């Protein structure tokens, strides 16, 4: 068997899986942003007609999954595995959705890096010959995340300038051994970093070192340069963390990231939407990638994308006990046919 490892952290897929269906659904605030036209569905309110925000998030993930399957011409019975995750305790959104999907289920938790982690694991399952088709999904909801990690939105708590707005939405993708669509060609799995950040509002600073390391490691492992990509997109560092990651890559590796370096948390909202630094949450990178970037590939504007989704690995307990916020970043390369 040919060696699939490049360096220490990167995998090059010998038979790159094809993404045969992608879907992104989003809340009203996200729909009002600059990418709203690229989402498959925008909900008019954050409750989706459900009697709790948690049930609304579950409905979003289910709808994203069914839409991605429909676009691929498949049903839940056609997939070998369902990989999904979210931000809530015991990843209840993913688990309850798995109950309805009915496929063999693997719960994934990488905080806001879950979209790239799910894609990487699904690609490994297919390239390794363990599956023919895998459904991947993740979600977040502003009201559920705020209630769990900080204060219920009804409290109207004061937010700091560097804080981020958890994206309300869900994204799903169907990966297949064969078919038409973009391919997942590489995955760079990140290490956990702790740079002493304790403030749960300052997650961009907590995650930036992990993102910078994964970008550098990917470039070194593959022998590529930043300009070899049409776009290098971090998941949800937002404005403060994105600039910090750029500076860390330049300082620690002497690599200059140019105008093709962006962040999903910056792209998804307008500056006048009151989101402070930008977007975050599992759905941030998922809806931008499976919605906007997917459309840009169809338009021929993106041929090769490096997505580096970032996750702050804190819990309410660790934050209340004064622990630092460790973080991780996972990268996947998606290339158009």
Range with lowest mean pLDDT among 12-16, 77-81, 193-197, 285-289: 193-197
Q: At residue 204, does pLDDT exceed 50?
A: yes
Residue 318 CA to residue 282 CA, distance in Å, equals 20
3-state secondary structure of 129: coil
What pTM did the predictor assign? 0.94
Q: What is the pLDDT of residue 146?
A: 82
Q: Give 44's contacts (C-beta < 8 A, 6+ positions apart).
A: 28
Q: At residue 60, does pLDDT exceed 60?
A: yes
Mean pLDDT, all residues of the chain = 94
Averaged pLDDT, 81-102: 97
Q: How far is CA 249 from CA 106, 246, 253, 267, in A?
A: 33, 5, 6, 21
Helices (H), the chain: 28-31, 53-71, 92-101, 114-127, 142-149, 203-222, 238-253, 264-267, 282-287, 294-298, 316-320
Q: Give 20's contacts (C-beta < 8 A, 6+ positions apart).
A: 71, 72, 73, 74, 133, 174, 175, 176, 179, 180, 181
Encoded tokens for 215: 């970008």
Residue 85 CA to residue 98 CA, distance in Å, equals 10
Q: What is the pLDDT of residue 155?
A: 53
Two domains, one topology: 5-176 and 183-335: yes
| Overall residue count recorded for the chain in this entry | 337
Q: What is the pLDDT of residue 73?
A: 97
Class of domain 5-176: alpha beta
Q: What is the pLDDT of residue 1?
A: 47
CATH architecture of 183-335: 3-Layer(aba) Sandwich (3.40)
Q: At residue 69, does pLDDT exceed 70?
A: yes
- pLDDT tens digit sequence for 104-162: 999 999 999 999 999 999 999 999 999 999 999 999 999 998 887 765 666 566 666 66
Specify the pairing of strand 81-85 against strand 133-140: parallel
By the 8 A CB rule, do 146 and 185 touch?
no
3-state secondary structure of 322: coil
**Per-domain residue ranges for the chain?**
5-176, 183-335
- pLDDT tens digit sequence for 228-250: 999 999 999 999 999 999 999 99
- pLDDT tens digit sequence for 152-188: 666 566 666 667 889 999 999 999 999 999 999 999 9
Encoded tokens for 160: 């700091």
- pLDDT tens digit sequence for 264-302: 999 999 989 988 888 999 999 999 999 999 999 999 999
């Amino acid at each position: 068997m040919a060696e699939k490892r490049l360096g220490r952290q990167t995998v090059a897929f010998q038979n790159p899986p094809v993404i045969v269906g992608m879907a992104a659904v989003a809340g009203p605030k996200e729909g009002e942003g600059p990418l709203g036209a690229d989402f498959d569905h925008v909900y008019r309110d954050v409750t989706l007609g459900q009697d709790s925000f948690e049930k609304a998030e579950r409905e979003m993930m289910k709808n994203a999954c069914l839409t991605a399957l429909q676009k691929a011409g498949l049903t839940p019975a056609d997939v070998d595995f369902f990989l999904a995750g979210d931000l809530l305790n015991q990843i209840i959104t993913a688990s309850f959705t798995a109950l309805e999907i009915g496929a063999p289920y693997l719960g994934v938790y990488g905080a806001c890096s879950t979209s790239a982690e799910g894609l990487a694991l699904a690609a490994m399952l297919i390239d390794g010959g363990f599956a023919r088709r895998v459904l991947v999904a993740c979600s977040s909801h502003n009201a559920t995340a705020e209630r769990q990690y900080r204060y219920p939105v009804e409290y109207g708590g004061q937010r700091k300038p560097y804080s981020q707005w958890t994206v309300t939405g869900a994204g799903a993708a169907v990966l297949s051994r064969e078919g038409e669509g973009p391919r997942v060609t590489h995955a760079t799995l990140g290490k956990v970093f702790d740079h002493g950040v304790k403030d749960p509002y300052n997650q961009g600073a907590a995650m930036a070192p992990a993102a910078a390391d994964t970008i550098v490691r990917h470039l070194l492992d593959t022998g590529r340069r930043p300009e070899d990509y049409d776009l290098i997109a971090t998941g949800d560092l937002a404005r403060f963390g994105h600039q910090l990651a750029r500076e860390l890559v330049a300082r620690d590796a002497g690599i200059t990231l140019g105008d093709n370096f962006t962040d999903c948390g910056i792209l998804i909202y307008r500056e006048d939407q009151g989101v402070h630094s930008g977007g975050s949450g599992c759905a941030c990178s998922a809806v931008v990638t499976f919605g906007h970037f997917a459309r840009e590939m169809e338009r021929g504007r993106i041929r090769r994308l490096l997505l580096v989704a970032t996750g702050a690995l804190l819990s309410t307990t660790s934050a209340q006990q004064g622990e630092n916020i460790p973080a991780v970043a996972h990268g996947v390369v998606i290339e158009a046919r």
